[in-house]
Amino acid sequence: MAEMTYRDAVARGITQEMARDPNVVLLGEDVGAAGGVFKATVGVFDQFGPERVADTPISEQAILGAAMGAAMTGLRPIAEIMFSDFFAVCWDIVANEIAKTRYMTNGQVALPLVIRSGNGGGVRFGAQHSQSVENWAMAIPGLKVVAPSTPRDVVGLLAAAVRDPDPVLFFEQKSLYATKGDVPDGEIVDELGKAAVRRHGKDATVVALAAMVPRALAAAEELATQGVEVTVIDLRSLVPLDVTTVASSVAATGHLVTVEENPRLCGWGAEVASIIAEENLFDLDGPIVRVTTPHVPLPAADALEDAAMPSVARIVEGVRRSLQ
């Protein structure tokens, strides 16, 4: 067991899979000797060299075009799109080509590739470099969508994503890169589509993702001082979505609060809320509450960004509303 940062866990997960499978390759802008703009691939080039780690031009279309072609020929590429905002530049390849190739070839061509990306706000990068876009990906059939909250889950979920036969979008929340956590020694492989219960409580269920998980846990600590005990569920992936764990918890607590970094309109919490309302309505003892970022471009100013993103105080208030 060793403590490591979220960013170091990315490199650990990549090297674990590259050492295991010679068909795994890494490509992206500055992922080689520079170790990535977020320093999340430090040491990978030193270990595997230029034949398996490729720096690319500043072209998202070129990166994903190369990754798609590599996957079609039997490799398992890990491609980096530096900021998830830049998916807008290459969305045609993601949504119309990568997501649909297996279906349109009747299974003759699989695309076992992972697209990693720095996602979300909290680091003052402004409206074009701070978006939380996991709900974009969730809306596209044929894509799997993963967003870890801890260093340990970075390793385990990245391994699962690399080994999956389908394309996986792997969102690394930028404000988590410097956070630390314990990571076991040896190989770590998780299962996509399995949520993790981070805290147990009897009064309400709070469902969160990525950077919102530690905030939800902090809110749970504050609520506990007020006599309210909540269960905190870390979804870990949106596709596949672990509805069973969420529904089971809601049946026990009678209350559901989702905490989403993405803008409110069409956020992933709306899908979770609709499923619970449709399938578990009579388990609910109060309204479903969504705590979200408002439907606005995320500001760069620190006070405004902090006000826009879900805070511990807003989560506490959301749980209180659900219990009324």
Closest C-alpha among 125, 198, 131, 160 to residue 16: 160
If 0-12 CB within 10 Å is exposed, 13-18 middle and 19+ buried, where does residue 132 land?
buried
| Torsion sign (Cα): 310, 314, 320, 324 | negative
Closest C-alpha among 61, 78, 293, 65 to residue 170: 78
* Given 129, 200, 255, 295, the catalytic residue: 129
Q: What's the farthest any 2 CA atoms get from each other in the chain? A: 60
User: What span, in angstroms and rounded, lies between the C-alpha atoms of 101 and 97?
Assistant: 6
255 is catalytic: no
**C-alpha distance from residue 130 to each of 214, 237, 308 (Å):** 19, 20, 12
SS3 152: helix
Active site residues: 129
